[in-house]
Amino acid sequence: MSPFNSKVKVNTIRILKRRDIPEGLWTKCEACGEIIYNKTLEEDFKVCPKCGYHFTMSAPERVAQLIDEGTFTEMDKDLVSGDPIKFKGPKSYVAKLKEDQLATGLTDAVVTGEGFLSKRKVALGVTDSRFIMGSMGSVVGERLTRLIEHATAKKLPLIIVSGSGGGARMYEGMLSLMQMAKTSQALAKHHEAQQLFISVLTNPTMAGVMASFASLGDMILAEPRALIGFTGPRVIEQTIRQKLPEGFQTSEFLLEHGMIDKIVHRKQLKASLHQLVEFVGTG
C-alpha cells in the first residue's frame, strides 16, 4: 500500500524566468559585500553607507567634490607624454597611453588647476590611479611643478590629492625618477615663500609619489583605511622575513605613529580643507 494519499494535491513550484536586470545599477562594497544602489553611492561621495568603505574616486570627481561648481580652470591639459626611451614590451608605452586616455578621458594621470573652495581661491592637483596606476611620469611631474610654481607666484593655498598606486613611471626611465626631485624642489621654494601646502592621501598613495611631494605637506590629511607607504606590505614581509604589525601602512597606523596629522572622512574633507585654509590665512 502506498504511503501517500493519492487524493492529496501536491503543490508544484512554478519556476519563473528571471527578468533581466539592467547592468550598471548596483555596486558591491569591496569591504563588507553590501550591494549599493549606484545613485545612492554617488550621492554619498562613493562611501559605503553600511561600513564606511571609501571607494576610489576619479580626478574629475574629486575636483567636483572640492571645488565650487563652475569655478575650476584646468591648467596644462594639452601637455602629453612622448616615448623618450622607446620602451618595448608586451605593450608599447604609446599603446598604453592611448589605452588609458580612452578609458579615463584624461590625457595623463593628474588634473591641475585653480578654483574656489568654499569661496576661497586655491590651487588644486589630483592624481588618478586609473591612469597607469597614477604613476609619475614627465607630464605628471611637470604639471604638478607648474601648479606649485603658480601657487607660489599667486600666493595661493596649494592642495594636492594623491591617489597613486604607482611611483615613478618606468616606461620613461630616469626622466620619471627626476620628477621626484623636481616636485620636491618646487615645494621647497613654496615653503620658503611661507605659502600653505596641504597634502591629502587617499587609497592608495605609494612609492615615489609618497617619497616625494605627497609627504611634504605642511598639513597631511588622509582618508580612512587608505594604504600609504613606499613598498607594499607583502614585499616588505618577504624581504625582512618578519610578520608586519596589524594595520601596517594604513592611515590609522600612520596617524598613531605621527606620520600624518589627521584622518578625515570624505564627507568632511571640503569643510576641513576650508577650515585649514581660513585658519592659516594664506592668499
pLDDT at residue 50, rounded to an integer? 80
CA neighbor of 56 nearest in space, from 109, 130, 121, 141: 130
Cβ atoms of 71 and 106 closer than 8 Å: no
Axis-axis angle for helices 174-192, 138-154 (nearest 10) = 10
Instruction: Identify whether residues 162 and 207 lie together within a single domain.
Output: yes
Instruction: Identify whether residues 24 and 143 lie together within a single domain.
Output: no
First-to-final CA distance of the chain: 96
Return the bridge partners of 221, or none.
Answer: 200, 262
Instruction: Identify whether residues 61 and 170 lie together within a single domain.
Output: yes
Cβ atoms of 122 and 113 closer than 8 Å: no
pLDDT at residue 40, rounded to an integer? 75
pLDDT at residue 241, rounded to an integer? 77
Alpha-carbon span 86 to 97, nearest angstrom = 13
Strand, helix or coil at 203?
strand
Is residue 125 within a helix (H) or strand (E), and if so which, with residue range? strand 120-127
Place of cell 581660513: 278
Alpha-carbon span 184 to 61, nearest angstrom = 26
Instruction: Identify whether residues 136 and 169 lie together within a single domain.
Output: yes
Query: Is this structure's pTM higher than 0.85?
Result: no
Q: How many CB atoms lie within 10 A of CB 4?
A: 8
Q: Report the chain (283 residues): mean pLDDT per 10 consecutive residues.
A: 46 45 73 80 80 84 93 93 87 91 92 95 94 89 96 95 83 90 95 94 85 90 85 72 73 85 91 90 54
Instruction: Identify whether residues 27 and 155 lie together within a single domain.
Output: no
SS3 annotation, 215-275: HCCCEEEECCCCEECCCCHHHHHHHHCCCCCCCCCEHHHHHHCCCCCEECCHHHHHHHHHH
- Tell me if 14 is assigned to some domain: no
Domain that holds residue 32: 20-55
Instruction: Identify whether residues 173 and 234 lie together within a single domain.
Output: yes
Alpha-carbon span 129 to 247, nearest angstrom = 22
Q: Among 35, 55, 75, where does a domain finish?
A: 55
Cβ atoms of 56 and 163 closer than 8 Å: yes
| CA-based torsion, 203, 146, 276, 106: positive or negative | negative
Q: How many domains does the chain have?
A: 2
- Tell me if 3 is assigned to some domain: no
Give the CATH number of the domain where residue 150 resides: 3.90.226.10
φ and ψ at 54, to 5 degrees?
-95, 110
- Tell me if 11 is assigned to some domain: no
Alpha-carbon span 220 to 261, nearest angstrom = 5
Instruction: Identify whether residues 143 and 196 lie together within a single domain.
Output: yes
CA 209, chain centre distance (Å): 11
pLDDT at residue 16, rounded to an integer? 41
Instruction: Identify whether residues 48 and 166 lie together within a single domain.
Output: no
pLDDT at residue 247, rounded to an integer? 66
Alpha-carbon span 51 to 35, nearest angstrom = 12
107: left (phi > 0), else alpha (psi -120 to 50), else beta?
alpha
Cβ atoms of 168 and 136 closer than 8 Å: yes
pLDDT at residue 168, rounded to an integer? 83
pLDDT at residue 54, rounded to an integer? 83
